[in-house]
A and B are shown apart, each in its own frame.
Chain A
Amino acid sequence: DSGVTQTPKHLITATGQRVTLRCSPRSGDLSVYWYQQSLDQGLQFLIHYYNGEERAKGNILERFSAQQFPDLHSELNLSSLELGDSALYFCASSVFKGRSEAFFGQGTRLTVV
């Protein structure tokens, strides 16, 4: 158990809908990273938050947004969902902004039908 909690574990929704994925980082970790992993693909970086502030954006679509709350949990919002958004979504947390260990959650498997 990495200590990073993601909910829900599975999500099935229809095209055009909106969903929210939640990540609770390890106790004491200030950084949260979000990644998308499509079938048999690598880890595509979406966005990074540190202590409530956005630090960097990767290949995140305009339909997607995220935030980190004062209690340090983070949410990834996906809207106007398309079939191609079906993927595993992971968050990872670390103590600092980088150059320190990052631990991944078990992921949310999103299926868009």
Chain B
Amino acid sequence: GENVEQHPSTLSVQEGDSAVIKCTYSDSASNYFPWYKQELGKGPQLIIDIRSNVGEKKDQRIAVTLNKTAKHFSLHITETQPEDSAVYFCAAVPGDQFYFGTGTSLTVIP
């Protein structure tokens, strides 16, 4: 089955700096890659996603890039703010199932 690896597990950045979280996947059948943000005590919230026919997608301060050849995708957050502090999960979807990474705890230091 699909295997998703996510790095780093923890990330601290100064407010205003950029943050990058990277994921790799193993199944070439995966063609949908969502990212979720989970704040303490809440459910994961879909923040951005990308499909395999697209190399990059942006939504304001958030962008996701996909390299199908290398089987990796990344989340980029620019101009980070304290409210970006949360746990971020990537996922790869080869069919019916969502395979999640292990999560990255992002802390934005004011």
Contact = CB atoms under 8 A, between A and B. Distances in A.
B69 interface: no
B103 A42 contact: yes
Interface in A36-95: 42-43, 45, 48, 50, 55-56, 58, 90, 92
A92 B96 CA distance: 13
Contacts of A99: 31-32, 51, 93, 95
Contacts of A101: 34, 46, 49
A2 interface: yes
Contacts of A102: 34, 46, 98
A107 B43 contact: yes
Contact of A100 (B32, B97, B100, B101): B32
A101 to B, nearest CB: 6
Interface residues of A, number: 25
Given A2-B43, A104-B44, A106-B43, A98 B102 contact: no
Given A42-B102, A48-B97, A98-B97, A104 B32 contact: no
Given A106-B42, A107-B43, A45 B98 contact: yes
B89 interface: yes
Interface of A: 2, 4, 31, 33, 42-43, 45, 48, 50, 55-56, 58, 90, 92, 97-107
Interface of B: 31-32, 34, 36, 42-46, 49, 51, 89, 93-98, 100-103
Given A42-B100, A98-B94, 4 more contacts: A2-B45, A4-B43, A99-B31, A99-B51
